[in-house]
């Protein structure tokens, strides 16, 4: 099972790096939204610092959403996905590898890029580590939950809008606790409770989401 997991993860990462346009689109979107935001409202440092936690988290959430539509699409179209589901390998491990590969190529780069954009929005320096930590805890949950919606809509020609409708309500708790933790850090308030809740959501998504992803893929392929 572990051998199949690592093989699937390596394959997905290799394919992602070959499609560099899909790899860069979320990062470019993240940078563009955060960069254009001060131009659309106000460049005042105090004003931007208050809005920075929400702007950064909403931008990261939408950027992670961009690449979900293509998560299983190419394998579905060429028949690779059906063969993977029919093989003797664990569908649970395959689903986990796919979701993890999505996070490694989307969520992790967003979390690493966030400190630079946080400074652009005048986020206090003491809140920047909390921002990175919340993104490292929250973006994997976005990938695993989003992969469920991607699996459900993989057989549809234009499933991107439907994916958004399915996952955004489920993303809201992650957004609330992630942005609130950063906001508390800027005010000098405790953030441990927010981080604990983000960690609990991460554990639940990593353990339970692959079951839902595998079941959704089997239903989509068989229909």
Residue-wise pLDDT for 107-166, tens only, equals 999 999 999 999 999 999 999 999 999 999 999 999 999 999 988 888 777 666 788 888
pLDDT at 2: 76
pLDDT digits (tens, 9 = 90+) for 152-205: 888 777 666 788 888 999 999 999 999 999 999 999 899 999 999 999 999 999
DSSP state of 43: -
In the prediction, which pLDDT does 198 show? 97
DSSP state at residue 221: H
List alpha helices for 73-127, DSSP H: 73-78, 80-86, 91-102, 108-120
- Residue 217: pLDDT band with limits 50, 70, 90: confident
Single out the residue of 103, 93, 89, 82 nearest to residue 154, CA to CA: 82
CA distances from 159 to 26, 47, 106, 154 (A): 18, 37, 19, 7
pLDDT in tens, 64-86: 888 888 788 877 877 777 777 77
Task: Give burial (CB, 10 Å; 0-12/13-18/19+) of 57.
Answer: buried
Neighbour count for residue 69 (Cβ, 10 Å): 22
Q: In total, how many domains does the chain have?
A: 1
Domain that holds residue 69: 2-222
Residue 139: predicted pLDDT: 96
On the question of pLDDT at 1 being above 70, the answer is no
Sole residue written with tokens 């979390």:
111
In the predicted structure, residue 88 carries a pLDDT above the cut 70: no
pLDDT(104) > 70: yes
Structure tokens, 117: 């954009």
- As given in the structure block, the two tokens for residue 41 are 């409202």
State the average pLDDT over residues 6-25: 83
CA angle, corner 93, sides to 88 and 99, nearest 5?
A: 135
Instruction: Write the CA distances from 7 to 164, 172, 205, integer angstroms.
Output: 30, 33, 22
How many CB atoms within 10 Å of residue 44? 11
């Amino acid at each position: 099972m572990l051998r199949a997991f690592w093989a699937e993860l390596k394959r997905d990462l290799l394919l992602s790096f070959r499609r560099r346009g899909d790899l860069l689109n979320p990062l470019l979107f993240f940078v563009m939204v955060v960069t254009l935001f001060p131009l659309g409202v106000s460049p005042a440092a105090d004003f931007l610092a208050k809005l920075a936690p929400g702007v950064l988290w909403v931008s990261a959430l939408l950027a992670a959403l961009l690449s979900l539509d293509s998560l299983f699409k190419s394998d579905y179209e060429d028949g690779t996905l059906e063969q993977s589901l029919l093989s003797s390998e664990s569908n649970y491990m395959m689903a986990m590898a796919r979701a993890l590969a999505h996070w490694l190529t989307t969520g992790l780069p967003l979390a690493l890029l966030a400190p630079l954009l946080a400074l652009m929005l005048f986020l206090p320096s003491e809140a920047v580590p909390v921002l990175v930590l919340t993104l490292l805890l929250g973006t994997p949950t976005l990938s695993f939950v989003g992969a469920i919606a991607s699996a459900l809509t993989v057989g549809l020609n234009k499933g991107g809008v439907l994916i958004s409708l399915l996952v955004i309500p489920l993303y809201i708790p992650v957004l609330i606790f992630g942005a609130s933790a950063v906001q508390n850090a800027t005010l000098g308030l405790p953030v441990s409770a927010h981080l604990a809740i983000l960690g609990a959501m991460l554990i639940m998504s990593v353990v339970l989401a692959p079951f839902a992803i595998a079941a959704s893929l089997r239903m989509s392929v068989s229909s």
